[in-house]
Amino acid sequence: MLSLGKLLELTLADREPAQKTQMTVSGTCLRWLAPGALEVRPHADRDNGLDLLLSAGIHGNETAPIELLDSLIHAIARNELQPRARLLFLFGNPEAIRRGERYVEQDVNRLFNGRHELSSGFEAMRACELERLAASFFNRPDRQRLHYDLHTAIRGSRIEQFALYPWKEGREHSRLELARLRDAGMEAVLLQNRPAITFSAYTYETLGAEAFTLELGKARPFGQNAEVDLTRLDACLRGLIERSAGVADGDDLTGLQLFSVSREIIKHSDSFLLHLPADVENFSELPTGYLLAEDEGTRWVIEEEGARIIFPNPKVRNGLRAGIVVVPHLPGTSAL
């Protein structure tokens, strides 16, 4: 196996490779760009016109997707997987990955779309570097741009594997991409309806990629992810990497649950109270009239029919999202 196939080992050891560019016997070029960053280019005769960015480890303790990308990189470096797509692999927060922590000083996935410019520290600098790497990768015209940012969640979920689809004014969500997510094992997709400061929001809103945050189960340490079944996602990614065209096969959404954001719960002060059990699962249903949260005179009471909560976290910094209230997406409320 080519030594650049050991990107995760290099990242965990905080080492630069002696050789920063290597070639497989079939003509695939691997190029180390920065800590946790590897570009893979197919031979020109094999290139299918797809630029595919795969990121994981934006939160350092979310190891299942890191292990998945590591297996794909190993397969490419052994020439077992022969890309037709141009690829960029990113391990988002190397220091947090080494420590096995979600983040060290601040959540990297709240520092995109210019938010890092308002902050300081190495994680803000890393968000800036990730934006630069993504922008450089997606700088070629007339190519399909696709980004999957792979995560696992702090808590359990009533719907274990789901995706978040960013939003930009005037841009429609793609049925083809939604169908591909379903085929990759996603049981539900949350269609966002406002700008965001996550990595996938940056590549979607600023760089014009089709981009998604994928939540793949509960976060566990390295080597303890046997319960996280990524078989369908692995097959989907290998298909995108190897096949002659980077397009979905159809737009049938049967079996895929769609949700829309109703409200975001923003924590404004240290007095914030979230009236949910500490072990509440994502997509837990909330009855109408339920007092969800309070903060210095502001009360969030559930008014929506069919409301559910995702990403509840009262420990976020003031000014950040402490939860999202979602509702089933109604047919006819968008182009879908």
Q: Which residues are catalytic?
A: 215
Distance of CA 175 to the CA centre of its chain: 19
Rounded CA-CA distance 268/322 in Å is 10
Q: Dihedral of CA 58/64/65/71: which sign?
A: positive
Cα–Cα distance measured from residue 59 to residue 8, given in angstroms and rounded to the nearest whole number: 15
Write the DSSP string, 159-220.
S-SEEEE---TT-PPPHHHHHHHHHTT--EEEE--S---SHHHHHHHTT--EEEEEEEEE--
Which residue is listed with tokens 């692999």?
Answer: 89
Q: How many CA atoms lie within 13 A of 191 on its CB side?
A: 22
DSSP state of 56: E
CB contact at 8 A, 320 and 274: no
Alpha-carbon gap, residue 327 to 72, rounded angstroms: 35
Tokens of 201: 């929001």
Euclidean distance between CA atoms 13 and 177, whole angstroms: 36
Phi first, then psi: what are they for 178, rounded to 5°? -65, -40
328 strand-pairing partners: 259
Quick one: CA dihedral 246, 249, 250, 253, positive or negative? Answer: negative
